[in-house]
Amino acid sequence: MNPYVKSVKPQDDYFLLLIFENGEKRRFDLKPYLNKGVFARLQNPTLYKTVRAVSGSVEWNGEIDLSYDTLYLESKPVKTDVSKAKPRAM
């Protein structure tokens, strides 16, 4: 079973920054969905920015949603920049 979405932030160019309950940070590209069914309405930037995490998935106003399975399986891990990481205490 894939982990649930804990939080979501809309990014520029229709990417979603997702944090899953297992601590993973991943990016989901929404662009391939924007010409399909109800997702076409998300081309409206105001509606797109209403995204929120609900019960482990994400949803937008107007009863538009994506399952956590789709989000996890089709997203890419966010690589952490080691140069910005906090130094470890010795």
Structural domain boundaries, residue 61: 5-78
pLDDT digits (tens, 9 = 90+) for 41-72: 999 999 999 999 999 999 999 999 999 999 99
In a domain, 88, yes or no: no
69: which residues sit within 8 A by CB, 6+ positions away?
2
pTM: 0.85
pLDDT digits (tens, 9 = 90+) for 29-47: 999 999 999 999 999 999 9
Give the span between the Cα atoms of 35 and 77, in whole angstroms.
25
> Into how many domains does the chain fold?
1
Nearest CA among 74, 85, 84 for reference residue 27: 74
In a domain, 49, yes or no: yes
In a domain, 74, yes or no: yes
Q: Where residue 45 sits, what CATH number does that domain have? A: 3.30.2020.10
In a domain, 86, yes or no: no
61: which residues sit within 8 A by CB, 6+ positions away?
47, 50
In a domain, 59, yes or no: yes
In a domain, 83, yes or no: no
- HSE (side-chain half, CA atoms, 13 Å) at 43: 9
